[in-house]
Amino acid sequence: MPYLSTLTRLTAPTLASLGLAFALTTLPGCGSRSVTDTETAALAADTVQQPVVVDSAQLARQVMQRDSLKADSIAKKTGQLPGAILPGHRIVAFYGNIRSKGMGILGREPKEQMFRKFAGVLKEWQAADPSRPVQAALHNVTITAQGTPGKDGKWRLMNSKATIEEVMSWAKEHNCILFLDVQPGHSTLQAELPKLEQYLKDPIVHLGIDPEFSLSTMPGVRPNQKIGTLDAKDINFTINFLARIVSENKLPPKVLTVHRFTRKMVSNYKNIKLDPRVQVVMHMDGHGDPTLKKDSYKAYIVNEPVQYTGFKLFYEYDARPKPHHIMTPAEVIALEPSPLYVQYQ
């Protein structure tokens, strides 16, 4: 059973602070074959050239730099790369795991009932801001922090290929984009993200990362005992990882959501390096009284800006206790800056 990720979240800023190896570009190689004695004699008359040693890692860095400069130049002329979702749209997502009733609205209700509810929510958002088209999204926690360490002691579990393909089919059936979310537990993004590369090659698939459940720097800590953390270097690794996939597969920009509801969840935010091929959303992930949610949004998202902003709404937790309520689209849109990614759990 995927470990529940919402029970310890606090939003008030005054309180204590949720595979495949990289494919490197290489030069074309020459094939080899056996030769006859006659061919050997003929070749002996020529100078034998030694094979050129290619530094694949260096070449990959050069390709990445060239593609990044090209992307930068296009973005400067047009404001964004072709096919970019933000800022022209507002993404509205249903979050959870299709194999779990406890992680969010995605998976809590039967599929068709959930999609009927989602359709109503999308209409509300479009009516609240007719000037900005709504992009529907599913946000499936795909690598999930666990309450037990597992055989390798990493405290995380990845969805099966069948589950990932099923949620991808749901997204395509209902004209949604799809976020695959990663809670690395005691593993790292460097180890876990390559497992998702085959899916991220699909234009509709994007990525979410959750510092709350990143505990590799906290030996012996069980997920949900303490709030984890990611550094700018981890987020930069993720941006570069996605940017490479975009370039190699000629894709539109990917969207990356980074969950946050305390200051310590993301360290050295000023060192995050943006790339036009990846659109970064810092996502306010706390629940509770609307006043506290707004304070958290200002303290951890607005006051430490990166690129775009997101805001989370909880069906189960935001309305408790009374008279608290789930914030309306109009209330969320009125925030400064207005969030361009909104998620329901």
pLDDT by residue for the chain (345 residues), tens only, comes to: 443 333 334 443 333 333 333 332 222 233 332 333 333 333 233 333 334 444 545 545 555 556 666 666 666 555 689 999 999 999 999 999 999 999 999 999 999 999 999 999 999 999 999 999 999 999 999 999 999 999 999 999 999 999 999 999 999 999 999 999 999 999 999 999 999 999 999 999 999 999 999 999 999 899 999 999 999 999 999 999 999 999 999 999 999 999 999 999 999 999 999 999 999 999 999 998 999 999 999 999 999 999 999 999 999 999 888 778 999 999 999 999 999 999 999
C-alpha distances (whole Å) from 235 to each of 56, 77, 210, 276 are: 24, 26, 11, 15
Q: Which helix (H) or strand (E) holds 309?
A: strand 308-313
pLDDT confidence of residue 38: 35
pLDDT confidence of residue 322: 79
What b/e readout covers 193-216, taking b as 16+ CB neighbours within 10 angstroms? bbbbbebbeeebbbbbbbbbbbbb
Alpha-carbon torsion, ordered 188, 248, 236, 87, to 10 deg: -120
pLDDT confidence of residue 323: 79
Query: Which distant-in-sequence residues (6+ apart) come within 8 Å of 343 by Cβ?
Result: 92, 93, 94, 95, 139, 257, 283, 310, 311, 312, 313
What b/e readout covers 245-272, taking b as 16+ CB neighbours within 10 angstroms? bbbeeebbbbbbbbbbbbeebbeebeeb
Task: Give backbone dihedrals phi and psi of 83, rounded to 5 degrees, phi first.
Answer: 85, 0
- Cα 290 to Cα 326: distance, rounded to the nearest angstrom: 8
User: Would residue 327 be called left, alpha or beta, if left means φ above 0 and alpha means ψ between -120 and 50 degrees?
Assistant: beta
Domains and CATH numbers, the chain: 55-344 (3.20.20)
> Which residue, 210, 215, 122, is CA-closest to 174?
122
Helical H segments across 79-177, by residue range: 105-108, 111-128, 161-173
- Cα 86 to Cα 81: distance, rounded to the nearest angstrom: 10
* Structure-block tokens of residue 206: 């994007």
pLDDT confidence of residue 70: 62
pLDDT confidence of residue 324: 85
What letter would DSSP give residue 166? H
- Cα 203 to Cα 84: distance, rounded to the nearest angstrom: 11
For strands 134-145 and 156-158, give the pairing. Answer: antiparallel
pLDDT confidence of residue 59: 47
- Cα 197 to Cα 39: distance, rounded to the nearest angstrom: 45
* Side-chain half-sphere CA neighbours of 264 within 13 A: 13
